[in-house]
Amino acid sequence: MKVAVLLAGVADPRHPLTLRSSRPPEIRRDNPLVFSPFDEAALELALKIRDGRRDTAITAIVAGGAESDALVRKAAAHRLDSVARLESEALAIWDVGATAHGLAEALRGLATRPDLVLIGREFGDFDDGALAPCLAAALGWPLFDLAQFARWEGDELILVRDGRSAEERLGLRPPWVASVTNDRRNRLRHPLMKNVMEARRRGFDVLTVAPVVPSATLKAVAPARERTRREPCRFLTGSVENQVAELAAYLQPWRALR
């Protein structure tokens, strides 16, 4: 099976966000990037699929500018068959439709067509979940949304997600797009140091797609309004019993909200 994983990275939440520009490529450049939990889940799902069938080939494509090269190497450290960066200047990533078309074009340009495209349930900082369905539509492929786990049953790959009351399993006949959400079972493993070092030396392709004309123009990106606290933070003090009592009294009104 040939699996393509699409990765975007997000601004590292451990650092304060720097917003000096309204241009997404510049915002990415100004902020340290990490894989989002959804990116990680998508990558781990691909690795799980490979664990089950050694003949699985994984290609990872990281959308971004040169600032994302470290993310490409991070993905490569999982000993993937190929890694590439998709130059994202052309993608208009605030416009899901346009971005989906750009990603679809990049996938069509790969030397071999993937059987399965995995993409996190949110793709980078500008998507809130619409990109995966749009990508499936742009490719004309079926979509399995919010996959949590994958396993092989004989030659058939089964994707799994928890519904409200039941676990849903789907056998796949390629090609498919699957969006992946994070789950205890798809927490990204750590790469081996040996492969991290090899990935540091490894080269990779930079893919480009023709600029997509967005349906809207991005006017500005501004910091979200800060929420103000009603009460300042403070430590509970006194004996443990007092602290428990005070905490219980504080939480009491919350019961009604359940």
Partner 1 sequence: MTSIRSASRDPDDATDEREVDFLVVGAGLAGVSAALAAAEAGLRTLVLEKQPEIGGSSAMSGGCLAFAGTDIQRANGIEDSDALLFADLREVGRFENDEATVRAYVEEQLSTYAWLRAHGAEFGSMVEAASGQSAPRSHIVDPADLVRSLWARAKSTGAVRLITSARAARLCREGGGGPVAAVEVDGDGRRFTVRASRGILLASGGFAGNPGLVHRFAPQYDEAQFVCGAGSEGDGLRMAWSLGADFRDTAYIKGTYGKHPIDETNHHACLAVYKGAIAVNQNGVRYVDESISYKLLGDACMAQPFASTYQILDRDILESGDDRVRILDFQRRLEEGLFIEADTLEALAEQAEIPADALAQTVARYNAFVARGADDDFGRKHLVHNHGALRKIERAPFYAYPSTAVVFGTYCGLCVDRSMQVLDVFGAPIPGLLAAGEVVGGLHGAAYMTGSALAKAAIFGRIAARTAAEGGAR
Contact map string, positions 90 to 109, toward partner 1, x by CB under 8 A = --------------------
Contact map string, positions 64 to 83, toward partner 1, x by CB under 8 A = ---------------x----
Instruction: Work out the angle at residue 13's Cα, subtended by the Cα atoms of residues 10 and 17, and round it to the nearest 5 degrees.
Output: 85
Q: How far apart are the first and last CA of the chain?
A: 45
* Min CB(77)–partner 1 separation in Å: 8
Alpha helices in the chain (DSSP H): 24-30, 37-52, 69-76, 96-108, 131-139, 193-201, 240-251
Q: Which residues pair with 180 in a beta bridge?
A: 120, 147
Question: Does 187 participate in binding partner 1 (rule CB under 8 A)?
Answer: yes
Question: Does 166 participate in binding partner 1 (rule CB under 8 A)?
Answer: no
Select from 173, 190, 229, 255 the one that contacts partner 1 (CB under 8 A).
190
Q: Token pair 């190929």 is at which residue?
A: 82
Residues 119, 129: contact at Cβ < 8 Å?
no
Select from 32, 53, 113, 197 the one that contacts partner 1 (CB under 8 A).
197
Distance of CA 183 to the CA centre of its chain: 13
Question: Does 20 participate in binding partner 1 (rule CB under 8 A)?
Answer: no
Other residues' Cβ atoms within 10 Å of the Cβ of residue 32 = 13
* Min CB(192)–partner 1 separation in Å: 6
Select from 126, 191, 204, 209 the one that contacts partner 1 (CB under 8 A).
191
Residue 73's SS3 state is helix
* Min CB(187)–partner 1 separation in Å: 6
Residues 94, 131: contact at Cβ < 8 Å?
no
Question: Does 245 participate in binding partner 1 (rule CB under 8 A)?
Answer: no
Question: Does 201 participate in binding partner 1 (rule CB under 8 A)?
Answer: no
Stretch that binds partner 1, among 81-89, 192-200, 208-216, 225-233 (CB under 8 A): 192-200
Question: Does 195 participate in binding partner 1 (rule CB under 8 A)?
Answer: yes
Alpha helices in 202-239 (DSSP H): none
Task: Specify the residue, 79 or 202, whose C-beta has the smaller distance to partner 1.
Answer: 79
Q: Token pair 């000096």 is at which residue?
A: 20
Footprint on this chain of partner 1 (rule: CB under 8 A): 79, 187, 189-197
